[in-house]
A = this chain, B = another copy of it.
Amino acid sequence: MTSDAFCPPTSDFPSSRFLHVLTTRGVVRQYTDAPIAGDVMDALVEGMLAAPNAGNAQAWAFVILDEPRVVRRLRGFAPGVIGAPAALVVACADHSRGPDDPREYEVRRLCVAMAVQNLLLTAHAHGLGACPSHSFRPDPVHYLLDLPPHVQPVLLVAIGHPAYERRPSVRRPKEEVISYRTQARNTTASPRT
């Protein structure tokens, strides 16, 4: 899949409307029985795979489960998945696609998280609700999905049609988490050593 060339915002697609999708997204944990349509699932995949990744290595793999019985089985090992989603996406890092180095392992996991964020946003833009989870039991999930050793689950994402209208989450005041720096601490060390 190739991405289109750089596309600046246009008058029919203001940046404020884009931001509104981001700020209205929130975790949804209860779903209706409705399945996810095939074309919507394709859009979710397309959004997910458009995430950045170091060196374009795409050191990731995603397992999509949308058959009710297998979703139920995985849920048994994922206490963070509370409701009965139409689909589960198991977002994994593929550690065969790069050096065997702890910092590289970390980068791959961070890229998987960025792909998951794209997935969450694309789901929300399509009227779906989703919930990422890190509290799954990694060894049983790895075993149940018969994953190769180098493919390691990072996040599980439950997705479905929301059963309720989500209440907004209260966030910390911006001033607590954002700081602006106009100076850096002095140092005599040369930056290039």
Contacts and interface: CB of A to CB of B under 8 A. Distances in A.
Interface of A: 1-9, 12-13, 15-28, 43, 45-47, 49-52, 54, 56, 58, 60-67, 69-70, 73-74, 76-77, 94, 103, 106-107, 109-111, 113-114, 116-118, 120-122, 125-127, 129, 132, 134, 140, 143-146, 154-155, 162, 165-174, 177-185, 187, 189, 191-192
A109 B191 CA distance: 26
Contacts of A6: 24, 26, 28, 129, 162, 165-166
| Copies of this polypeptide in the complex | 2
Contact of A70 (B20, B76, B178, B182): B182
Which of the listed residues A22, A166, A185 has the most CB atoms from chain B within 10 Å of its own CB?
A22
